[in-house]
Structure 1
């Protein structure tokens, strides 16, 4: 029993369910979560002989992580509310200094402010950011790894304003030690995603600077993406065309597009102009959304015409079954088809996205790196030069080798 001002007292604060700290089962979200203690006031001894049950429900928080974070915060703040502020939950009065009861729960756990717990602030920032769907999912995946690591290191009790560079670094180092697949590349990816969240938190004036950027990037080996050989391309083309014609059409059009899988899956019939041989896509990079025109090559025009046959203007070009329809499908379906129909059946090891690399490299060889960048929708040649023009170095060697600049 804790002695409080004005002759009052209270029991220790406890949480229901009892296994709230260790549970990982989503089924536990169906249980009634709350934090409680019993408050005793001598003036209300007859009315509440067993104490007044002071309870704060947590069911409004929809994830286990948020409920755990809320419970931890309330375990710390309720005793302060009684001891330091002299709050009496029976009379609803503050005997020392009046502070709105909701200030330690509602604001800190539902809004980003300097006092918001570290991991809660990360989740709220994730909910708030405006990024491409794929990036949003990637950050969600990162948080599913990062937050448990931060909790293990006891950093989740820190207020976001108290978080320093070392806390981020220690958490990333912990992941590196405990996760077998954690690499320098993943370290840099997580660093970038965390920086995105910290920039969002800055917007709410909860912190002053993006401390994540002060963490140095890891040096990692850049691997050349494996691509299909000429023999593999012939094999894949014949196999898909004969057995899976709809997926074959999508594969060929993706190859010639120079764009992203999600751009084609988001594409609607009304955004395709066959007469001008263009289609329009909404490019989402960071917080910038911009409509951009993509070229329809002569070599792919007939397939575009077949893909649009019998469609309505509001249809997605590649819906269920990769045919026009009203439902947008997920990009995971394309990778799944490639694995099932190509990798597993033909023994091909290159992934679907390597088709983009092949196309942009061939455009670089036949036209220029600037044309390849235009095809991919890039403003500069840097991405093509660094990632896509995989054969350019060899071509450059060949050009230099055969150069006939005689001395005399």
Structure 2
């Protein structure tokens, strides 16, 4: 009876800059394994390690191991810290948004640069302790000239990357846990436009790209993220019940969210005659035949079969508002502006939290900056006499 697998073999080169690997076929499918051998800069030592991996793989195959099923063979003990970062990101990729994935990859790149600077190129993930992480992340902060805020953000990414390794039983504990975030001042990255600036923004968009107006006020009214808005199909909108149902596939939290429509936004959506279009269309989609000829106000940000990407909205905002009006505010600040306006209008913080799909009020407070001011005013106005 013919074997379901071939005997593992080593692919090696005299030139050590070329990647070595061990390969075999299982049920005609090709499998390759490196397990850190290419970080060994001595030919004989690399060959010994490669032969060890080859023999270990062969033994596992003889013991009825199926490589199609995730299996942690002992060679993971030889996985380098840098390789573990790549492994983790590869496993997390299917469940990450493009922006988050970009952040993870950037953090990984910076960490690898720090590994060389701290002479920890050959650090094994199995031997990585908190002290190693502290030294590496501090060196990265120094090299990249990170602010405390950037340090905290990248530390968070690193913790998440290492947590994935725990899911695969490559490490038992996350060596980054317990490392404290640095103190940061008040976050002002998304400072909203002033009332006078908002008037100019309205006039500019309505006169030059009116279909874009409903998109940007949707950020203000609903707090739905710009990326999520572009994924909304007409079938997700129920004007009779005044709500949008966001399915798990397009929300950041992968949890279905029901977003109520207030009368102001609902009126704009009703003017779009959504019932007359294919319900599979994207509400802020495109009907352009050619995708490389720039946005058209008659064909973009309207119900259409093609989904626009996030960059289309960002670039249009920059063109009209930042460059056109010289008003340096981020489009995402409309969510912050909407939060502040709602709080000032009497909306409870918990109701706002529910609208934005946050799990905690602390997250919502990042957007509703006027809450403290409202609370102080209430204390001054409603406190009883002694």
TM-score range, shorter chain: 0.7 to 0.9
- Work out which of the residue numbers 41, 48, 59 in structure 2 matches 1:80: 48
5+ long unaligned stretches in structure 2: 1-11, 24-29, 61-66, 287-299
Pair 282,70 (structure 1): closer, same or farther in 2 beyond 3 Å: farther
Please give the alpha-carbon distance, in whole angstroms, between the structure 1 residues aligned to 2:384 and 2:358.
Answer: 35
**Greater shift in the superposed pair: 271-280 or 147-156:** 147-156
Aligned: 1:161 with 2:126: yes
Please give the alpha-carbon distance, in whole angstroms, between the structure 2 residues aligned to 1:308 and 1:116.
Answer: 58
Please give the alpha-carbon distance, in whole angstroms, between the structure 1 residues aligned to 2:31 and 2:119.
Answer: 21
Shift of 1:353: 1.1
- Work out which of the residue numbers 68, 71, 85 in structure 1 matches 2:38: 71
Pair 165,365 (structure 1): closer, same or farther in 2 beyond 3 Å: same
Pair 187,137 (structure 1): closer, same or farther in 2 beyond 3 Å: same
| 1:376 paired residue number | 356
Aligned: 1:210 with 2:190: no
Please give the alpha-carbon distance, in whole angstroms, between the structure 1 residues aligned to 2:217 and 2:49.
Answer: 65
Please give the alpha-carbon distance, in whole angstroms, between the structure 1 residues aligned to 2:243 and 2:252.
Answer: 25
Please give the alpha-carbon distance, in whole angstroms, between the structure 2 residues aligned to 1:344 and 1:124.
Answer: 41
| 1:249 paired residue number | 214
TM-score by length of 1: 0.73
| 2:308 paired residue number | 329
| 1:49 paired residue number | none
Please give the alpha-carbon distance, in whole angstroms, between the structure 2 residues aligned to 1:99 and 1:211.
Answer: 28
Please give the alpha-carbon distance, in whole angstroms, between the structure 1 residues aligned to 2:251 and 2:224.
Answer: 17
Relative contact order, higher structure (CA 8 A, sep 6+): 2
Partner secondary structure for residue 327 of structure 2: coil
Count of aligned positions? 339
| 1:293 paired residue number | 258
Please give the alpha-carbon distance, in whole angstroms, between the structure 2 residues aligned to 1:353 and 1:359.
Answer: 10
CA contact (8 A) 1:360 1:389 kept: yes
Please give the alpha-carbon distance, in whole angstroms, between the structure 1 residues aligned to 2:375 and 2:34.
Answer: 58
**Greater shift in the superposed pair: 224-233 or 309-318:** 309-318
5+ long unaligned stretches in structure 1: 1-11, 21-32, 36-54, 88-93
Pair 146,324 (structure 1): closer, same or farther in 2 beyond 3 Å: farther
CA contact (8 A) 2:152 2:181 kept: yes
| 1:150 paired residue number | 115
Partner secondary structure for residue 245 of structure 2: strand
Pair 393,287 (structure 1): closer, same or farther in 2 beyond 3 Å: closer
| 1:45 paired residue number | none
| 1:364 paired residue number | 343
TM-score by length of 2: 0.77
